[in-house]
Structure 1
Amino acid sequence: MSRATDTVLKGLEEIRPWVEDLYKDLHTHPELGRQEHRTAAKAAEALRTDGYEVTEGIGGTGLIGVLRRGEGPTVMLRADMDALPVAEATGLPYASTVTVPSDDGTPVPVMHACGHDVHVASMLGFARLMARAREAWHGTLVVLFQPDEEGGTGADAMVADGLVDRSPRPDVVLAQHVLPYPAGYVGTRAGSFLTAADSTRVTLYGRGAHGSMPQHAIDPVVMAAMAVVRLQTVVSRELAPATPAVVTVGSITAGTGPNIIPDRAELKINVRTYDEETRATVRAAVERVVRAEAAASGAEREPEFEALAAFPPTVNDEAPTRTVAAAFDELFGDQAHTIEPQTASEDMSRIPEAFGVPFTYWGIGGTDPAVYEKAAAAGRLTSDVPVNHSPHFAPVPQPTLDTGVSALTAAALAWLAAPED
């Protein structure tokens, strides 16, 4: 590893217990998007303790910490803070039992089912190491903690709230995400890495009637069922076999009783694509199919389409990805890999886009290596290794956290290392 990376990471053993305790605390106390008040407060407190200039309340609960060390490049690193409305089933001693009221007052369980607790703990560990080894680097370090990644609104909210004017302008933006690979793994990829994701609520309108008198109805349940079936052909029959995309109908809702034909049905549809051309093609096909099925059923009112969330594709810039990959090869050796494209989605790219600067985003593993190897040997990776958003997803603290801290350090120092290194 480089001299700067070695110098900074010498402090890792000392802070390791603090990072692990922080991770477990965050896991026990998850917060949904736009509600990350406790998490943001803990991040701000740690950063101020380590000498960072902290600006809070950007886009709601977002914040940045800035540490300056003379002339040189400016590097921004981002961590997301929010959790998910999932009931935890890990059985861990530090498992979440948090619930919060929903809009109608019913309790909603909350869990860090996507590893954002790893991201926050790793970032704060990295930030502390960089503050304690300032002699090893030069330039300006910006650590950014983003709200509501899961809802796809957090990055845009920070930008809309003046992030570009409230932060030093970075030369590059860096980020990482824990994934269900073996802990210790790091993976980079230039170009298309994560998909765009578009979620839409579709309301199909029919005519209600008694279940015994279907001739008086226009049945929206049948209409919806035919649309669901036909939507499965969009990818298989309208895209080239080598063009990846996913169309998922994740929710179908209609009716109140077995003998009542309702007057409407609702579908929630998710589309994932890797490029804007395919994105436009698939979205147009989805709308065409739904409208056609409504027309075929004799619907007297056009379907309604309501956008629920939209995530951009994550397309890593070539130059910073090569730089980070080289740093990882040097530090991690055979644990550094080229990762395959992922069908998950992110809003992180909105931040470098707002600054007009390049970025790269990589993955780290969080699964117990023994569990992963056993599942791989048995051909049971898809069933035995919990993935992000599963109620059983909980990255093992080590070596996940050490890898997260080390990866951020090596990546940042690829730009910030002192000239003599």
Structure 2
Amino acid sequence: MTILDQHPELRERLHELYVHLHQHPELSMQEHETAALIEERMTGLGYEVFRCGGTGVVATLVNGEGPVIGFRADTDGLPLQENTGLPYASTARGTLPDGTDVPVMHACGHDTHITAAVGAATLLAQDRDAWAGTVVFLFQPGEETAAGAEAMVADGLWERAPHPEVIYGQHVWPGLAGTVEMTRGPAMSYSDAWRVTVHGRGGHGSQPENTIDPVVLAAHMIVRIQSLLSREVAAQKAAVITIATIHAGLKENIIPPVAEFTINMRNLDADVRQHLLAGLRRVIQAEAMASDAPEPQIEELYTFPLLVNDEAETGRVVDLLRGVLGEDQVIERPAVMGSEDFGTLPDAIGVPGVYWFFGGMSSEVVESDEPVPTNHSPFFGPVMEPTLSTGTTAAYEVLMSRLRVQ
């Protein structure tokens, strides 16, 4: 049983909201229509609403004396062509900051996050006699680019909104719908992304002796970078380095003057992170020197902070949700190497944060022999139920556990 079993009309309205959001995703920091829709819904429920961080929305409901509790939901989509085959699949398009026209999809399920938050906010607004205090909903833009939480804080979020004593958040993922999974302590990794521009000296492919080949040089860098993990990080320490893009040249017999590749590095330990960041620079610069090439350019694209769940509060939430959803439906799990900027919000005011995952896949999908579509896949399409009911119930019950009138 979920809270929405007692509110079938609300569940139907949330389904309609979810379908609309799924069909109308917007890119990071461009969530203009999404923000306007959230403002309309939350204002209609009686919340005080203001914009923050560009396309972020803060919605506050004061209901007498009591604790102040925060809840965050992210709102942005991804530049992907949806291939789920759903009848409400997205056909939306958007424009990247460099001007590229791209398809847009809610491939990370942020539409479920918005819907569940609106559902919990609706239940709180409808039953004010059952609780007392203040609830602050943070509809955050730009999670995918690690820009949104920082933008909200920089825009005076915590000078303009009440300070919660704890902030909660959640994320759909390819687990079994109806389940919740969470981690005590470090839960999601640091993530650092760089763009490296390797400079050489171009020329004819028949005369490599007159060139400095940036393709060969970049290849040496990429191979050597992986040895940072295998030879400089203890086996007990988790770390991942991915080189997912490399671009150079226009023709097979012209050695280009420049090559470019990107790096994504993830780990769960601050000391390991600093060692690897220094090691990346050392390898890149040393390989350039070994080839007598100019110094490469390193552009830091973004950084996601380490997400650390407050251990005591996480334990309380685990026990609470097991009582609500069922003992077997709430699972404690190790940290994941995915990254989130959620932690920026509680960290900015020094309060605990707790973040969990809720499943979005049917038992048929999870138990099949085929790979389960993951977040950021063009095939990622959470089943509507019990996904939305579970996300709404988890958000509502955790908030009510701090606000409920005894």
Short-chain TM bin: over 0.9
Match of 1:212 among 206, 216, 232: 206
Q: Where do residues 170-209 of structure 1 align in structure 2 (5 Å cutoff)?
A: 170-209=164-203
Secondary structure of the residue aligned to 1:355 is coil
Secondary structure of the residue aligned to 2:234 is coil
Structure 2 residue 239 is matched with structure 1 residue 245: yes
* Structure 1 counterpart of 2:330: 336
Tell me the CA shift for residue 103 of structure 1: 5.1
Tell me the CA shift for residue 166 of structure 1: 1.0
Match of 1:370 among 364, 379, 387: 364
* Structure 2 counterpart of 1:127: 121
Contact 1:44–1:54 (CA under 8 A) maintained in structure 2: yes
Tell me the CA shift for residue 178 of structure 1: 0.5
Structure 2 residue 16 is matched with structure 1 residue 29: no
- For structure 1, which segment, 116-125 or 225-234, has the greater mean C-alpha deviation from structure 2 after superposition? 225-234
Contact 2:81–2:378 (CA under 8 A) maintained in structure 1: yes
Tell me the CA shift for residue 371 of structure 1: 1.2
Match of 1:286 among 252, 277, 280: 280
Deviations 1:36-84 (A, max 9, x none): 11111111111111111111x2010111111122111110000000000
Deviations 1:224-245 (A, max 9, x none): 0111111121111111111101
What is the aligned-residue RMSD (CA, Å)?
Answer: 1.4
Q: Where do residues 342-421 of structure 1 align in structure 2 (5 Å cutoff)?
A: 342-375=336-369, 380=370, 384-419=371-406
Unmatched 5+ stretches in structure 1: none
Deviations 1:184-223 (A, max 9, x none): 1101211111011000011111111111100101111000
TM-score by length of 2: 0.97
* Structure 2 counterpart of 1:17: 12
Contact 2:4–2:10 (CA under 8 A) maintained in structure 1: no
Cα distance, 1:10–1:211 mapped onto 2, change above 3 Å? closer
Counterparts of 1:185 and 1:340, CA distance in 2: 16
Secondary structure of the residue aligned to 2:380 is coil
Counterparts of 1:106 and 1:193, CA distance in 2: 34
* Structure 2 counterpart of 1:111: 105
Contact 1:323–1:414 (CA under 8 A) maintained in structure 2: no
Counterparts of 1:224 and 1:267, CA distance in 2: 8
* Structure 2 counterpart of 1:144: 138
Structure 2 residue 306 is matched with structure 1 residue 313: yes
Unmatched 5+ stretches in structure 2: none
Tell me the CA shift for residue 104 of structure 1: 5.9
Cα distance, 1:354–1:106 mapped onto 2, change above 3 Å? closer
Contact 1:9–1:406 (CA under 8 A) maintained in structure 2: yes
Match of 2:297 among 304, 307, 310: 304
Secondary structure of the residue aligned to 2:194 is strand
How many residue pairs were aligned?
405
Tell me the CA shift for residue 405 of structure 1: 0.2
Counterparts of 1:227 and 1:14, CA distance in 2: 58
Counterparts of 1:203 and 1:106, CA distance in 2: 21
* Structure 2 counterpart of 1:49: 44
Structure 2 residue 79 is matched with structure 1 residue 85: yes
Counterparts of 2:117 and 2:188, CA distance in 1: 21
Match of 1:69 among 43, 63, 69: 63
Counterparts of 1:103 and 1:230, CA distance in 2: 32
Secondary structure of the residue aligned to 1:86 is coil
Counterparts of 1:160 and 1:233, CA distance in 2: 38
* Structure 2 counterpart of 1:163: 157
Counterparts of 2:200 and 2:182, CA distance in 1: 49
Counterparts of 1:115 and 1:167, CA distance in 2: 27
- For structure 1, which segment, 175-184 or 99-108, has the greater mean C-alpha deviation from structure 2 after superposition? 99-108
TM-score by length of 1: 0.94
Deviations 1:294-329 (A, max 9, x none): 122121x11111100110010111122112111111
Tell me the CA shift for residue 101 of structure 1: 3.4
Counterparts of 2:339 and 2:145, CA distance in 1: 11
Question: Share of identical aligned residues, percent?
Answer: 48
Counterparts of 1:80 and 1:220, CA distance in 2: 40
